[in-house]
Structure 1
Amino acid sequence: MSKILSFFGILVLMNCGSTQMVETKNVPDQANPGGPEGVKGSVVEEVPKGVNAVGTELGFTDAERVGDIMKYLASDDLKGRDSGSEGIEIAAKYIENYLKSYQVAPYFDTYRDTLSNYKKTSYNIVGIVEGSDPVLKDEYILVGAHYDHIGIIKIENGDAIANGANDNASGTTAVMELARYFGKNRTNKRSLIFVLFSAEEKGLLGSKHLAKKLKEQELNLYTMLNFEMIGVPLLGKDYLVYATGYKKSNFADVNNKYAGENLVGYLQRAREYGLFQRSDNYPFYQEFGVPCHTYCTFDFTNFEYYHKVGDEVEEMDFDHMATLINKMLPVVEKIANAPMKEIKMN
């Protein structure tokens, strides 16, 4: 995420269930991520679909599960997940183990896509759930978020770790849970590529690298769905999440039709501050010229810790996140299964 000038001075701006985790110990261990969740000592029990361990109805994911993933990714032991650091290496192993656990295959020979445009060795993590339709499976939907953050920064109140809970462990969690759903259920006719990008904070380098690479390989990309800073809810809006680049395509209209409600809305400030160009959707839009948008719930008034040490899991709303992920599942499923490409550029 970058910084730009606002009307008031310098304003930091973003580049902008079938299972339940019954018991986990959120202690990152670089040598032994361990367990199907990548958490050392984790225990995951299968419970009947649609209920949690005590029989209460719930969606595919819930606040407890979301919270466990978030607490791992934004823990102090990962030291802010700076690209090329030991901390982000722990995160990478965790995500790889997670995808593997839910039968999401590596897109390349391994899950790791090594960046060619950054000085430190850094990786995008890329998985795929192949589509079931013999024709539609050759059309691809990319679901992404960046998992890097800014690492160690200036000490504030004795803390120098920029944990990056909202930015962007929140989006990473959403992509991981979507991958879990499709990896387990295989309900997609089009192929789904799940990507966790590195070096977004260095200038969208991970997404620039991968977009160029996939374009050279002539990937038939239908659309790109990016998740960025979804850890706290919007206030005073009649929609749950906004889409950057709202007017560039009919993306929001199709999302809302598939959701059966006003799920995705328009935020004027997103246009004013050029958020469409400031997150990992943009390189794919540039390379492919297809609808590529970011879902976000950061609106400049509901979160005060952007690129600060205060971006901690304690500030996150896990119920909101679980609700958003659960509502996005049928939307992504219908995008993947529609007979024709309904999302089109304006």
Structure 2
Amino acid sequence: MKYFFRILVLSILMGCGTTKLQQIDVDSIPKTSEVSQESVAVPTEDTKSTALKRTNSKTATSEILFSDDTRVRGILNFLASDELEGRDSGSEGIEKAAQFIEGIFTQNKLAPYFDSYRDTLTNFTPTSYNMVGWIEGNDPVLKNEFILIGAHYDHIGRIEPEGGDSIANGANDNASGTTTVLELARYFGNTQTNKRSLIFVLFTAEEKGLLGSKHLAKKLKEQNLNLYLVLNYEMVGVPLVDKEYLTYASGYEKSNLAQVCNTYAGKELVGFLPTAQKFGLFQRSDNYPFYEAFNVPAHTFCTFDFTNFDQYHKVGDEADLMDFQHMAHLVNLFIPVVEGVANAPQKEIQYN
């Protein structure tokens, strides 16, 4: 019962995106979430009206202040807590993460894309689920085109102990990407400013060989989904160092995605990382099965460049190494990007 109370409290905390300023007492949230013990201030601005003002603007002139480090910390610290035991696919730990995601989807008015939020994998056992919610577009024509926004929420569970610790918490990989997607879902769930329809997916079994995304790509292709674009988030918990851009896109050279993103963000948000091309990262994340199945622009955004984080697939991939201000900043910059491509009269992202 204590665990389910925690899920309820955290889900409610993450769900209040458009209310007026209020103080939420978080003293009752257990230490596994490590949310600040100060009260959390919900943004005062009317998020929907702010978003509407920005919708028709080709270039963002100022960063929208929606997400913040406290909110990001609350989500990520729960997902990367020892209680979830590294979120191995099919485990009791990832089931807790799935329930948490369901709570956030529900709180923020996302509808289940299928009969429920849970998309059961047919290519993996034990039973594992992608978590899939969606927001229908508000344009009678453009709503028939879909943008998929995703990240994998699984990790590798327990591994060989180091210093008595055997839990690979997966804070950067990929509680960080999951947190980003949940914050974007919170924004659009509460504003409903998207003309095209948005599908939000948290994939499972990525660590088993992209099995969750392979399953869903095949399923949606069989249903003839009119998929326009895939935006995937992977390992965005720590900033790049000595780069003129804030994140890079895998398969950068394959489309004009970076240029469009930078126009809407009003700064160098997305750049080219030669190392990503060298190591074939385009083929190694959950964007790739959709590229193969649909032949549409499908990219992954990342801030891990092989030099700025040394805890990949180790027990040291802990929440206290994450830069929560950096993460909130990325969320806020990607809001006008997603809003822009969702509302443009024509499809702007094209393969080169």
TM (norm. structure 1) is 0.88
Q: CA separation of 1:179/1:157 partners in 2, compared to 1, >3 Å: closer, same or farther?
A: same
Deviation at 1:47, TM superposition (A): 4.6
Structure 1 SS opposite 2:155: coil
Residues 109-147 of structure 1 show CA distances to partners (whole Å, capped at 9, x for unaligned) of 100000000021000000001000000000000000000
Letter in 1 for 2:121: L
Letter in 1 for 2:264: Y
Q: CA separation of 1:238/1:50 partners in 2, compared to 1, >3 Å: closer, same or farther?
A: farther
Residues 36-82 of structure 1 show CA distances to partners (whole Å, capped at 9, x for unaligned) of 6168955977551289xxxxx98101011101111100000000000
Structure 2 SS opposite 1:97: helix
Structure 1 unaligned regions, length at least 5: 1-26, 52-56
CA contact (8 A) 1:30 1:90 kept: no
CA contact (8 A) 1:99 1:105 kept: yes
State, as a whole percentage, how many aligned pairs show the same letter: 64
Letter in 2 for 1:151: G
The equivalences for 1:65-84 within 5 A come to: 65-84=71-90
CA contact (8 A) 2:120 2:128 kept: yes
Greater than 4 Å deviation, 4+ residue runs: 38-47
Structure 2 SS opposite 1:239: coil
Residues 245-268 of structure 1 show CA distances to partners (whole Å, capped at 9, x for unaligned) of 001111111111111211100000
Alpha-carbon separation, structure 2, partners of 1:28 and 1:103: 25
CA contact (8 A) 1:225 1:292 kept: yes
Deviation at 1:334, TM superposition (A): 0.2
Alignment RMSD, CA only?
2.0
Match of 1:312 in 2: 318
Letter in 2 for 1:186: Q
The equivalences for 1:258-337 within 5 A come to: 258-337=264-343
Structure 2 unaligned regions, length at least 5: 14-25, 30-38, 48-62
Structure 2 SS opposite 1:116: coil
The equivalences for 1:150-169 within 5 A come to: 150-169=156-175
1:134 paired residue among 140, 153, 158: 140
Structure 2 SS opposite 1:35: helix
Deviation at 1:28, TM superposition (A): 7.8
More helix as a share of residues: 2
Structure 2 SS opposite 1:153: strand
Alpha-carbon separation, structure 2, partners of 1:251 and 1:68: 30
1:344 paired residue among 330, 333, 350: 350
CA contact (8 A) 1:142 1:193 kept: yes
CA contact (8 A) 2:249 2:301 kept: yes
TM (norm. structure 2) is 0.86
Letter in 2 for 1:80: G
Letter in 2 for 1:99: F
Count of residues in correspondence between the two structures: 315
* Structure 2 residue 245 is the aligned partner of structure 1 residue 239: yes
Residues 263-301 of structure 1 show CA distances to partners (whole Å, capped at 9, x for unaligned) of 100000000000000000000000000000000000000
CA contact (8 A) 1:28 1:72 kept: no
Match of 2:9 in 1: 35
CA contact (8 A) 1:243 1:252 kept: yes
CA contact (8 A) 2:155 2:173 kept: yes
1:49 paired residue among 35, 45, 48: 45
Alpha-carbon separation, structure 1, partners of 2:173 and 2:12: 21
Letter in 2 for 1:283: P
More strand as a share of residues: 1
CA contact (8 A) 1:285 1:291 kept: yes
Structure 2 SS opposite 1:341: coil
Alpha-carbon separation, structure 1, partners of 2:277 and 2:42: 43
